[in-house]
Amino acid sequence: MFMRSPAHAPEKPSSVEQWAHTDKASVIVDAADYFDALADAISRAQHSIKIVGWDVDGRTRLRPDEQLTLADALHAAADANPDLDISILQWDFAFIYAFEREWLPSLQFDWRGHASIRSHLDGHVPAGASHHEKIVVIDDALAFVGGIDLTTGRWDTSEHTPDNDLRVDPSGKAYEAWHDIQMAVSGKSVLAICDHVDERWVAATGQAPARAPTKTHSAGLWPHGLDVDFKDVDVGIAITRARYRQVSAKTEIEALHLNMIGAAQRYVYLENQYFASDTLVKAIATRMREVPDLCLIVVTPADLAGVAEALSMNAGRYRAMEELRDAGVADRVRLLHPVYMDDSSSEPEAVSIMVHAKAMIIDGVMLRVGSSNFNNRSMGLDTECDLAVYASTQKEAEGIAGIAARLLAEHMGCDTPAAHDVLAADNMLEELDKLREADATRQLHLADKLDEYDTPLAHALSIIGDPDGPQSTLGSASQRIRDGLEDIGALGRGKGKTRTSSSDRSELAMSGIAVAIRVVLAAGVSLLLATLFMATPLAGWLGLDPQASPLTQMTPAVMEYAIAILVIVVLGAFAFPLGPVVVLCGFVMGWQAGLVIGLAGGAASAVIYYLAGRQMKSRVLKGFLSARMRRIVRHLSRRGASGVAALRALPVVPFSLVNLAAGASPVSFGRFALGTAVSAVPMIAALAYLGDQLWVIWQTPSLLTAAQIISVIVLLVLHMTAMSRFHSWVSNTRGSNDDPADAAPSRK
């Protein structure tokens, strides 16, 4: 019944440094079972609870039928045991990556209710990277590792019915069916996982982790009702992390994948949110050419949330399938997505099930479960943790084969023995095709319409959003442009190519469009504002002829204005202040041009970053401001237009950060715009004139010009004072008693 005997068991790869004995191990399918097991383990914790996550939300319902949230469980554990040390380490999402990634799905939760709970945001990653691990360690004796985030929108049962009333977010809104996988382990392997967690905690906080317990009690911690898949087995702990400051790089997860793929003989069964790793897909194609009977079964979601993610990752899927077609092995590949056939209406409807699982099983003898996606960034950029089991006994092989059959059976709506028979058959794919749409409710459909994502925009987004390691922004951009030009023959090095392969298409996407996509939103707004300025009488006042070509203008042309405005918006992403740019424009182009550019650039920056702040967690601001400055921002932003106006006048707070803070606060856009106009317009006018007069005094020094410069500086100081006094007067009139040290209010 089982596919391979222990005599053919693969050798554990030395590229994975940590292989440790595990008393018990279990693969937990879907979050309902995982959250229930986690709640049970938390309730019996005696020493410490360590949580490491991409996102951790206290409102996450561990047991929806009991209304038990993660916060409830942790608070109850802390109340019951004052000596319990609870630490939460989650990725500190930074705004600079916002145009490359989807927004985080939940609001920040306040963990300050208990002294026992220490919460920290970890931003110690290279630009563009994330901490993507999902780990919980209880008493250094039990660990959960996998792909399930402790956040909203994850809980679901393995039935994945469309009408489950318990599958709702904290606001009561239903979300899509969600398939995911986590692994539980106990024994010495937990100590290796704990070493990694503690290392991250120290690097992020500078604080000591919870002291190791003098006596472990793993036997009493194993969650009630959680089936054991393996006993007394060696588990590998594989890590991905990018080099950052004093932290060395690790690419163990990529090496683990390559080792597993390189040993495959009959099948590769993959469940993953993505199918886009260039290196791993090439390895699969190579192995399938070497082994004529090798089959690939990929279970992945039908589509992805968000336009950018859908375009970029589906472009990666398209390139992966092209790679397999080019290798001549596509007929042995099934790219599938699970659906639930809803027959509540006259015509059955295929309701897609989101696949967030990150698992790979080879021939029923090798297993990998973890946080890493099957994409480029999980192999070398993001921080990831995976667990692996290589069967060394018949019983372990049966356990791994059983997990593969259990997963496949869930998706096809059949029993586990039937799925076993599919994976054991000589004509595996024929048997799979017979069964995958046989059930009336649960089916696996073939992925189609991938050609729709063979576009320059989709490939460009894929290259930008899915790098294989840290990128040097300027250097990599110039190299990508050069590579793209070479591929299309613009530099004379691409000639002689008769056919463009899938890998060549990805290189074509690395041209200027890949660089431009990062700022396309800012560019569009900026160009629109510049065009509006030129279409109004203001253009004539500046001496510009709207009918003439910009290239023939002796005064600043439309493109010059647009570029300057765009620079203001882009510099805002790096918290660069607006004032120096306005002064520089006034110095180089005159006070009229400085005024127009400052107003247009300020308006574009205000709108873009305010809207960005509306989508953020308040914790995002931590990456930009000191703790003291964050309190000032929250304090002033709460007080409407007067608070914004006063904050605008403070030279120590960059313009774009005020926009972000206002967006993340309850200040309405109307009040934000009013406060900005009252404070920023006079300030921009004064700064533009200051720049102009600095040019004049440089060219023809005079006492009159010096006096004018001093007068402008005095006016700026008076303006700042006036805005502050005005804000104080408004606050006193309202009788506001808000404490500036209060935490920023969350937005529902």
**Domain ranges for the chain:** 23-215, 240-451, 472-510, 518-734
Contact 121, 168 (CB under 8 A): no
pLDDT value of residue 8: 65
User: What is the spatial distance between Cα 632 and Cα 636, in angstroms, rounded to a whole number?
Assistant: 6
Question: Phi/psi of residue 442, each to 5°?
Answer: -110, 125
CA distance to 37, 41, 84, 497, 735, per residue, from 77 (Å): 15, 10, 8, 65, 41
Q: Which residues in the chain land under pLDDT 70?
A: 1-9, 93-113, 214-219, 456-457, 460, 471-559, 573-575, 614-640, 642-643, 646-654, 657, 664-666, 723-748
Nearest CA to 1 among 418, 521, 573? 418
pLDDT value of residue 593: 82
Non-local (6+) Cβ contacts of 344 within 8 A are 162, 163
CA distance to 43, 308, 313, 505, 509, per residue, from 484 (Å): 56, 21, 20, 9, 7
Non-local (6+) Cβ contacts of 256 within 8 A are 13, 15, 16, 236, 238, 368, 386, 388
Tokens of 746: 């969350």
pLDDT value of residue 407: 98
Rounded to the nearest 10 degrees, how much is the dihedral formed by the CA atoms of 426, 432, 435, 440?
Answer: 170
User: What is the spatial distance between Cα 192 and Cα 213, in angstroms, rounded to a whole number?
Assistant: 15
Please name the residue that has the structure tokens 């696996």.
Answer: 444
Pairing of strands 85-91, 117-122: parallel
Query: Across the chain, which distance is largest between two alpha carbons, in Å?
Result: 98
Beta bridge partners of 143: 137, 185
CATH of 240-451, one of 1.10.8.60, 3.30.870.10, 3.40.50.970, 3.90.550.10: 3.30.870.10
Classify residue 746 by its DSSP letter: P
Query: 3-state class of 545 per DSSP?
Result: coil
pLDDT value of residue 344: 74
Query: 3-state class of 635 per DSSP?
Result: helix
pLDDT value of residue 744: 33
CB burial readout 488-502, b (16+ within 10 A) else e: eeeeeebeeeeeeeb
Class of the CATH domain delimited by 23-215: alpha beta
The reply to whether 240-451 shares the fold of 23-215 is yes
Beta bridge partners of 26: 184
CB-based burial of residue 618 (10 Å sphere; 0-12 exposed, 13-18 middle, 19+ buried)?
buried
Which helix H or strand E contains 584, and what residues bound it?
Answer: helix 578-589
Helices (H), 10-125: 31-43, 70-80
Look up the pTM and report it: 0.67
User: What is the spatial distance between Cα 544 and Cα 728, in angstroms, rounded to a whole number?
Assistant: 43
pLDDT value of residue 729: 62
Rounded to the nearest 10 degrees, how much is the dihedral formed by the CA atoms of 290, 294, 299, 300?
Answer: 10
Tokens of 229: 């898949």
Contact 533, 489 (CB under 8 A): no
Which helix H or strand E contains 583, and what residues bound it?
Answer: helix 578-589
CA distance to 67, 428, 440, per residue, from 540 (Å): 65, 75, 70
User: How crowded is the C-beta side of 399, counted as CA atoms within 13 Å?
Assistant: 24
